[in-house]
Each structure stands twice: as structure tokens, then as C-alpha cells.
């Protein structure tokens, strides 16, 4: 991962302020104002926020405090490293990333495969800014502005990964997976405490198999899904009762194995019944 200069792809980023969760206060950093703080933020294992409230960083004052919710972020380095390990990229693989954002994972994939790779990003302004930065970093990446949840670019792909979570895998993604290919994404219906990694493989004969593994962390939901609202605490004194329903052990999550995994099989196969609330247990 050291082969790609991430600071070239992210010349500006937002630093979290305060202890409030979710974070609403931020400070914009750049290389001129505070290079050391920017590099520490970019090369940490945490997510790197590059948009607040849909406003481009160039339209805000560097060093000034701003408020709002993140609308674009580059995934943490640890999460990207695990994604690359799961995909098992090989030289010559046709690679596609859904939700490319700053293009960092695409640049890593281009270095590993030794060929041009493709990234899809819904934010057209990010695509416009990221293209020249990828070229400056020496990464052979073709970046497209489109809503990948409505369909992927033409062709088939050996390795597909999504850098945002979906409640179920769109059928259009599975149709683009080549024989022998692997697809990876986070499954989440908007619940902050439940993440799972879906890893789907298409056999040489065309059959699909997959696993769904419980995780402590994962990608954030897509813009279409978002997070489920968290109830506000009561105004006055009262009794509070919490209910926790943990996911099953990862060993019970083989697709088609029955039991708890059967209730989540639709998340891999894109069942419409799972779209509203995400995976559920009966």
C-alpha cells in the first residue's frame, strides 16, 4: 500500500473536532496550512472525510471550523487492505470498484494487476477532481460518474468490490461477475451495530457461491439507504431497557447451510424482501 502516495489523491481532508458522536464539527486541513496534521490523518487507519454536506473543500476556508454530516469519505487503510486480501488480485485481472471516491483503492489495484482498472463514483465533482490526481500519482484508472446501484459499466469483471454497504447485492453486479471471479461488499441495512462482509465467487461453469461473515466494522451505507435514526434519550427520569440481538457465529454463515445463514441468504442474492430493513433473524 506504500506504492501509492495517498496524499497526492487527498490534498485536503476534514479533521474531527470534539467528542460528540456522530461527529458534527470539523476543521479543514491542507498541505499548506498544516502538512503534519494532514499526513497523520490521511495515513491513519481511520476513514478520511473529504466532503461535508456535499460542499467541495475548495469552497471552504482552510483551518476554519465547519459543521455538517460527511457526504464522501475514503475508507480506512485497514479496511482496504482486508478487501484486497479477500479479492486475491492477480496480474491481468479486470478490476472494478464501486464507490471509488478518491480512487486510492483503484490505484492500488492498478499497481497489483499491472493494467488499467475501472472505478465508478456517483459524485461527478469527485470524478472531475480525482482524474488528474490519479494521473499525477501514475495510476492507470478509468473513472466514471454514475449510480452503480442502477447498473455497472458494460463488460464482465474478474474482481468487483464495493466501498459502501448495501442491504443486498444488486443482481446487476452479479451479472457482471466473470467465471472464476470474486465479488466483495459490506452488507448493512442501516444499523450501526451490524456489519457483514459478503464474498461471492462465480465458478468456471457459472454457478454462484458465497459466504456472509459478521464483522465489527465495515463500509458506511450507500446514500440511498443511510443510517437508521437513533432515538433521542428521554427528557425526564424513567426506566430504560436495552435489547441486544447478536448475529450468529461466522461459522454458521455459509450460504445455503440452513439455520441463521438461510435467513441471510437473500442478502447475497439480492432479495427485495431484505432491502428495507437489511438482514434479519426470525
Global pTM reads 0.78
Cα dihedral 13, 18, 24, 25 sign = negative
What's the CATH number of domain 77-227+248-274, 3.40.50.720, 3.40.50.150, 1.20.1270.360, 3.40.50.300? 3.40.50.150
CA angle 247, 167, 217 (to 5 degrees): 50
3-state secondary structure 224-267: CCCCCCCCCCCCCCCCCCCCCCCCCCHHHCECCCCCHHHHHHHH
Cβ proximity of 174 and 183 under 8 Å: yes
The answer to whether residues 103 and 130 touch, using CB atoms and an 8 Å cutoff, is: yes
Task: Locate the domains of the chain by residue range.
Answer: 6-74, 77-227+248-274
Per DSSP, the three-state class of 201 is strand
Residue 98 near residue 173 (C-beta atoms within 8 A): yes
The DSSP element (H or E) to which 13 belongs, if any, is strand 12-17
Backbone angle region of 165, left / alpha / beta, with phi > 0 → left and psi within -120 to 50 → alpha: beta
Beta bridge partners of 44: none
Q: What are phi and psi of 163, to 5 degrees?
A: -100, 30
- Nearest residue to 77 via CA among 161, 16, 2, 23: 2
Q: Residue 141: phi, psi to the nearest 5?
A: -130, 130
* Rounded Cα–Cα distance for residues 245 and 118 (Å): 39
Q: Give dist(CA 78, CA 90) in Å, integer.
A: 20
Query: Which pLDDT tens digits describe the chain residue by residue (282 residues)?
Result: 888 999 999 999 999 998 877 788 999 999 888 889 999 999 988 889 999 887 888 888 888 888 888 888 898 888 899 999 999 999 999 999 999 999 999 999 999 999 999 999 999 999 999 999 999 999 999 999 999 988 899 999 999 999 988 888 999 999 999 999 999 999 887 666 678 899 999 999 999 999 998 887 777 776 665 555 555 666 666 666 665 666 555 554 444 333 334 334 444 555 433 333 333 333
Amino acid at each position: 500500500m506504500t506504492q501509492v502516495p495517498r496524499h497526492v489523491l487527498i490534498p485536503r481532508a476534514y479533521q474531527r473536532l470534539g467528542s460528540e458522536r456522530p461527529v458534527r464539527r470539523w476543521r479543514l486541513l491542507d498541505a499548506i496550512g498544516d502538512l503534519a496534521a494532514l499526513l497523520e490523518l490521511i495515513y491513519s487507519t481511520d476513514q478520511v472525510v473529504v466532503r461535508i454536506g456535499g460542499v467541495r473543500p475548495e469552497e471552504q476556508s482552510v483551518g476554519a471550523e465547519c459543521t455538517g454530516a460527511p457526504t464522501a469519505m475514503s475508507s480506512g487503510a485497514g479496511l482496504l487492505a482486508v478487501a484486497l486480501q479477500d479479492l486475491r488480485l492477480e496480474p491481468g485481472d479486470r478490476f472494478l470498484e464501486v464507490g471509488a471516491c478518491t480512487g486510492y483503492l483503484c490505484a492500488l489495484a492498478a499497481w497489483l494487476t499491472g493494467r488499467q482498472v475501472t472505478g465508478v463514483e456517483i459524485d461527478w465533482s469527485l470524478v472531475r477532481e480525482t482524474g488528474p490526481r490519479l494521473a499525477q500519482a501514475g495510476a492507470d484508472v478509468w473513472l466514471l460518474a454514475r449510480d452503480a446501484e442502477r447498473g455497472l459499466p458494460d463488460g464482465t469483471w474478474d474482481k468487483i468490490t464495493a466501498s459502501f454497504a448495501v442491504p443486498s447485492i444488486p443482481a446487476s453486479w452479479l451479472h457482471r461477475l466473470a467465471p472464476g471471479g470474486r465479488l466483495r461488499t459490506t452488507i448493512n441495512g442501516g444499523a450501526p451495530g451490524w456489519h457483514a462482509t459478503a464474498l461471492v465467487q462465480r465458478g468456471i461453469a457459472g454457478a454462484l457461491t458465497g459466504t456472509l461473515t459478521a464483522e465489527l466494522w465495515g463500509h458506511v451505507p450507500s446514500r440511498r439507504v443511510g443510517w437508521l435514526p437513533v432515538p433521542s434519550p428521554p427528557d425526564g427520569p424513567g426506566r430504560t431497557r436495552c435489547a441486544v440481538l447478536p448475529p450468529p457465529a461466522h461459522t454458521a454463515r455459509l450460504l445455503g447451510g440452513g439455520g441463521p445463514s438461510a435467513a441471510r441468504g437473500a442478502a447475497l442474492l439480492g432479495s427485495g424482501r431484505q432491502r428495507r430493513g437489511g438482514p434479519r433473524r426470525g
